[in-house]
Structure 1
Amino acid sequence: MRLGIRVSGVVEDSSDHVKKIAFGERQSQSIILAGFALIPEGAAEAKESSRAGARRKVLEELGLDVAPGALLGVDWTATRTGCSEGVVLVFDGGRLTPGQICSIRLQAEDLRRYAFVDVGSVGELLVPVLARRVQACARARERGRPL
């Protein structure tokens, strides 16, 4: 069995002093029942670097071409329906300018809407494992070192 490499990019609103992370709401009702929000994430393709994969996922899901910054965290995901176990690499997608925020274009077949949410409130939107991952990566960004 091949261990999957999943990549993710966390982007942040720069319009105020409160840290707010961008989340998309999935179209699929089954995913909404499990926790309706997500950060841009997906599998790295064959022969694609993890950094290139994170850039591609942010571009596909939010329509933003953002060069990934520092690695914020490394996590493991268990086997689940349709996915093998894997390693998740979360990269810093940076703070978005007002112009970038205005240019967000959602992946219509997958995402219904997006919002910027205070990091302290992510537990209300995300499944617990993803909430912990996002909060840990926000702390890593503040400290300037990955987890």
Structure 2
Amino acid sequence: MTDDEERFAYLAEGNARQARKRVAADLLIRDDTGRILLVNPTYKDHWDLPGGMVESNEPPRAAGVRELAEELGLTVTAGRVLVLDWVGPHGPWDDQLVFIFDGGTLSPAQVKSIRICDPEIGEYAFAELTEAKSMLRPDMAQRLARAHDALATGVTDYSE
């Protein structure tokens, strides 16, 4: 074995032992009146922002865009990170990183083109901020409020 091969094997062994994080990537998307796009997953009790879980070795921004296309047939360019949260272990779940990206504002034509493409999504809706927060789980409502503030301030919100 060469020195390069030994070093690679050493690094690969270390990589295999390091912690892996679950990562979720959601998008804050608005219509031209500022209402927020929400989805109602069939496997959860509350509405959610569009997005989902990041696959192995997938960039979070790309995952949010992929999930949106898979769920609602929409293609957007995900902008800057509005919120990044570390969520500690709870219940059966290990810790997790949750990203919310700016998904931009949809044109009326884009809004009309939305179609549910994934059986995990039962319905979608656009809602004003106050109504949207009431439809979400409390932790997601808080994230949405922080993401909405980050849109206005230009400052990414990080929390643990």
- Verify same fold: TM over 0.5: yes
- Using the TM superposition, give the Cα deviation of residue 80 of structure 1 relative to its aligned residue in structure 2, in angstroms: 4.5
Which ranges of structure 1 fall in alignment gaps of 5 or more residues? none
In structure 1, distance between residues paired with 2:75 and 2:93: 26
Q: Which position in structure 2 is the counterpart of 1:105?
A: 115
Q: Considering only CA atoms, is the larger Rg found in Structure 1 or Structure 2?
A: 2
Which ranges of structure 2 fall in alignment gaps of 5 or more residues? 1-18
In structure 2, distance between residues paired with 1:110 and 1:90: 20
Q: TM-score, normalization: structure 1?
A: 0.86
CA change 1:126–1:52 in 2 (3 A) is same
Tell me: higher relative CO, structure 1 or 2? Use CA pairs within 8 A at least 6 residues apart: 1
Matched, 1:137 2:147: yes
Matches within 5 A, 1:19-58: 19-28=34-43, 31-32=44-45, 35=46, 37-58=47-68
CA contact (8 A) 2:23 2:97 kept: yes
Q: TM-score, normalization: structure 2?
A: 0.79
- Using the TM superposition, give the Cα deviation of residue 2 of structure 1 relative to its aligned residue in structure 2, in angstroms: 1.9
In structure 2, distance between residues paired with 1:88 and 1:81: 17
> Once superposed, what is the RMSD of the aligned Cα atoms?
1.6
Tell me the matched-pair count.
139
- Using the TM superposition, give the Cα deviation of residue 138 of structure 1 relative to its aligned residue in structure 2, in angstroms: 0.6
Q: Percent identity?
A: 29
Matches within 5 A, 1:70-89: 70-80=80-90, 83-89=93-99
Q: Which one has the bigger strand percentage?
A: 1
Q: Which of these residues, 60, 67, 75, is aligned with residue 77 of structure 2?
A: 67
- Please list every run of at least 4 consecutive aligned residues from structure 1 whose deviation after the TM superposition is greater than 6 angstroms: none
- Using the TM superposition, give the Cα deviation of residue 144 of structure 1 relative to its aligned residue in structure 2, in angstroms: 1.7
